[in-house]
């Protein structure tokens, strides 16, 4: 007997695709915002429950497209288990093309998911925005039903697809074996996805930036459910080849999880780096002075220390920073993506990069 899965008004039905809504923030003009919910369930009993969530940043569209391509009636005949898909966690931001919903006033919605009291000593803030309370209700459904979660994002204005791997945090020494087991399962899941894996910031910065309160960070660290963030392409656009590749990679992850039959399908037309050592996110290099930037590398390029990555000029087009205007990376790594605009201020980051990092992703806090 298949366990029924209920999220908002969507109630799973064996062999069917059902649609519903999960109410979030009451609106002063009446009614309320809601999250669209799709539940696809295989006909046969049993099987895992995979959550796919997208567009918590409203200007990130590729995850919507991945869900629209993947979670269709065509999925049902071969499906074992259940897919719960939420094409947008931020409908207000999607409508306005903004990262944050207008009623969150500039705060990042992907830092509002619950934290475990076991992990942080900071007292709870007395004031919680309505959206934070709604996400807490949604998180209760994730916690109760999910076996795996993938949260879909876009990175910068142009980017190669990659996966962010969150650290698993633990507090008591006796919890370490379970934390290691959880991170091991995450590793298998990431191997099955087959995309480039980039580790999140090391522990202190991870907590300081509230990354344990992202959708994937909270699912992993508060609910202890394998989860990851997939960065698909650049923001404000559909990036077709990246969408196709990531849709294939998620189907491969589902094959690993026993949710789809058959061998892995090829994941094509995107750069994939598996260098044999861990990669870690960084932003580098930085603008030495105010400037207009023209990149001389592309997302997916591999660079060595000393390679030029951008040409810097003043508004008259004259080189700045160095005599030839070429900004060179001090670190070897992979160009993940570009940040918006051409006008940069002193010390602004020019590139998102992946560089050689630590493989210690099970961290005592």
Which residues, 68 to 127, sit near Zn ion by CB under 5 A?
Answer: none
Q: Which is nearer to Zn ion, 88 or 115 (CB)?
A: 88
Binding region for Zn ion (CB under 5 A) out of 49-57, 191-199, 276-284, 301-309:
49-57
Which residues, 118 to 177, sit near Zn ion by CB under 5 A?
Answer: 153
CB of 159 to Zn ion, least distance (A): 11
276-294 core/surface letters (b: 16 or more CB in 10 A; e: else):
eebbbbbeebebeebbbbe
CB of 242 to Zn ion, least distance (A): 14
Pairing of strands 148-153, 162-165: unpaired
Q: Could you give the CA distance from residue 278 to residue 284 in angstroms, rounded to a whole number?
A: 18
Token pair in block for residue 116: 């475990």
CB of 90 to Zn ion, least distance (A): 10
CB of 337 to Zn ion, least distance (A): 11
Binding region for Zn ion (CB under 5 A) out of 50-58, 67-75, 89-97, 259-267:
50-58
Q: Which is nearer to Zn ion, 233 or 257 (CB)?
A: 233
CB of 106 to Zn ion, least distance (A): 15
Q: Is 57 among the residues that bind Zn ion (CB under 5 A)?
A: yes
CB of 118 to Zn ion, least distance (A): 26
CB of 11 to Zn ion, least distance (A): 30
Distances (CA, A) of 266 to 6, 189, 191, 195, 252: 33, 16, 14, 11, 9
Q: Could you give the CA distance from residue 311 to residue 334 in angstroms, rounded to a whole number?
A: 18
Determine how many CB atoms are found less than 10 A away from the CB of residue 358: 12
What x-and-dash track marks residues 9-48 binding Zn ion by CB under 5 A? Answer: ----------------------------------------
CB of 57 to Zn ion, least distance (A): 4
Burial of 97 (0-12, 13-18, 19+ CB in 10 A): exposed
Q: Which is nearer to Zn ion, 211 or 327 (CB)?
A: 211
102-127 core/surface letters (b: 16 or more CB in 10 A; e: else):
eebeeeebbbbbbbeeeebeeeeeee
Q: Which residues contact 105 (CB under 8 A, 6 or more apart)?
A: none
Determine how many CB atoms are found less than 10 A away from the CB of residue 52: 22
Burial of 244 (0-12, 13-18, 19+ CB in 10 A): middle
CA-CA-CA-CA torsion sign (96, 101, 105, 106): negative
Binding region for Zn ion (CB under 5 A) out of 36-44, 60-68, 132-140, 141-149:
60-68
Contact 157, 236 (CB under 8 A): yes
Q: Which is nearer to Zn ion, 38 or 54 (CB)?
A: 54
CB of 62 to Zn ion, least distance (A): 10
Q: Which is nearer to Zn ion, 153 or 213 (CB)?
A: 153
Q: Could you give the CA distance from residue 87 to residue 71 in angstroms, rounded to a whole number?
A: 10
In the bound complex, which residue of the shown chain has the CB atom lying closest to Zn ion? 153
Q: How big is the site for Zn ion, counted in residues (CB under 5 A)?
A: 3
Q: Which is nearer to Zn ion, 52 or 303 (CB)?
A: 52
Q: Which is nearer to Zn ion, 61 or 170 (CB)?
A: 61
Q: Which is nearer to Zn ion, 12 or 55 (CB)?
A: 55
Q: Could you give the CA distance from residue 84 to residue 17 in angstroms, rounded to a whole number?
A: 10
Q: Which is nearer to Zn ion, 80 or 100 (CB)?
A: 100
SS3 label, residue 249 = helix
Binding region for Zn ion (CB under 5 A) out of 58-66, 74-82, 133-141, 310-318:
58-66
Binding region for Zn ion (CB under 5 A) out of 55-63, 247-255, 293-301, 344-352:
55-63
Determine how many CB atoms are found less than 10 A away from the CB of residue 206: 21
The residues of the shown chain that bind Zn ion, judged by CB under 5 A, are 57, 60, 153
């Amino acid at each position: 007997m298949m366990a029924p899965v209920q999220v908002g008004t969507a109630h799973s039905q064996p062999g069917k695709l059902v649609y519903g809504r999960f109410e979030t923030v009451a609106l002063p003009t009446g009614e309320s915002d809601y999250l669209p919910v799709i539940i696809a369930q295989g006909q046969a009993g049993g099987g895992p429950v995979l959550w796919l969530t997208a567009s918590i940043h409203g200007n990130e569209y590729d995850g919507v497209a991945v869900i629209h391509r993947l979670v269709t009636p065509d999925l049902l005949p071969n499906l074992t288990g259940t897919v719960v898909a939420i094409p947008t966690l931020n409908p207000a931001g999607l409508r306005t093309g903004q990262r944050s919903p207008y009623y969150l006033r500039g705060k990042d919605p992907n830092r509002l998911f619950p934290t475990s009291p076991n992990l942080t000593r900071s007292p709870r803030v007395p004031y919680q925005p309505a959206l934070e309370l709604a996400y807490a209700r949604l998180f209760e459904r994730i916690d109760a039903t999910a076996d795996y979660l993938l949260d879909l994002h876009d990175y910068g204005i142009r980017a190669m697809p990659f996966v962010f791997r969150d650290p698993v945090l633990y507090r008591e020494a006796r919890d370490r074996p379970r934390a290691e087991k959880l991170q091991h399962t995450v590793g298998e899941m990431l191997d099955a996805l087959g995309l480039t894996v980039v580790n999140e910031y090391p522990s202190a910065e991870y907590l300081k930036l509230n990354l344990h309160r992202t959708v994937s960070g909270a699912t992993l660290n508060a609910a202890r459910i394998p989860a990851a963030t997939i960065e698909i392409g650049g923001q404000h656009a559909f990036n077709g080849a990246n969408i196709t590749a990531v849709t294939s990679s998620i189907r491969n992850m589902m094959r690993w999880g026993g949710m789809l039959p058959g061998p892995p399908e090829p994941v094509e037309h995107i750069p994939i780096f598996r260098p044999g050592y861990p990669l870690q996110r960084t932003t580098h290099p930085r603008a030495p002075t105010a400037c207009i930037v023209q990149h001389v590398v592309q997302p997916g390029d591999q660079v060595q220390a000393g390679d030029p990555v951008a040409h810097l000029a003043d508004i008259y087009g004259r080189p700045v920073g160095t005599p030839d205007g070429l900004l060179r990376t001090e670190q070897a790594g992979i160009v993940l993506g570009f940040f918006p605009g051409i006008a940069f201020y002193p010390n602004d980051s020019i590139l998102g990069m992946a560089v050689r990092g630590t493989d210690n992703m099970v961290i005592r806090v």
